[in-house]
Structure formats: C-alpha cells, structure tokens
Amino acid sequence: MNDNALILISNQQLFELITQALIGVLKDVPYTSPSQQNEELLTRNEAAEMLNVTPTTLTKYVKQGRLKAGGADRKYLFMKSDLLKFMFNRK
C-alpha cells in the first residue's frame, strides 16, 4: 500500500496548519525573561508594527490587561520579550 497522497489546500489552510503546529511546539518551551537592564524597549508604534496591529488596537490590549506596558506621561513603552510572548500565546 502506498502512503503517499496529494492533498490540495489553500494558502490560508496551510498557514493555519503551520501556525497550529508551531503553537503546539512552542507552548512547551519555558519562557525566561531576559534581565531588565538588557531588555529592549519599544514605543507604541514600534510595538504595533511588530504585532501587525494598529496602535489603537495595541492600546485596547493594554486596557484589557492582555498586554503589559510601562512609561510616563501617557506614553507607553513595551518590553520586546513581552510582545514576543504575547505573539506566541495569541490565538
């Protein structure tokens, strides 16, 4: 019996399959935060670009408690490690 088969799927279906496989593998990788002194900080616009969302959506995530931010004078700063963790835990 031949186990080889050709399956046709869309680009979106392939993307979803790969994403789910990566999430399955990466969820078991322990997260260790780098030391604060070596941590790269990103502005609101830089963080939004990294997550591929609008700055408004990013602010909404902060207000909902889904994402941590710091800063002063209503200017958010985001730790790159927090953004990476958020990216891999987002579904």
pLDDT of residue 88: 86
Amino acid residing at 90: R
Q: How many CA atoms lie within 13 A of 89 on its CB side?
A: 11
Place of tokens 């997550």: 51
Residue 90: the pLDDT is 73
Q: In a structure prediction context, what are the per-residue pLDDT tens digits for the chain, which is 91 residues long?
A: 567 888 899 999 998 998 888 887 777 666 555 555 567 899 999 999 999 999 999 999 999 999 999 877 678 899 999 999 998 887 5
Nearest to 81 by CA among 36, 48, 46: 36
Q: Rounded to an integer, what distance in angstroms lies between the CA atom of residue 23 and that of residue 53?
A: 20
pLDDT computed for residue 2 by the predictor:
66
| Contact indicator for 50, 90 with CB cutoff of 8 Å | no
pLDDT, position 66: 92
Note the pTM of the prediction, 2 decimals.
0.56
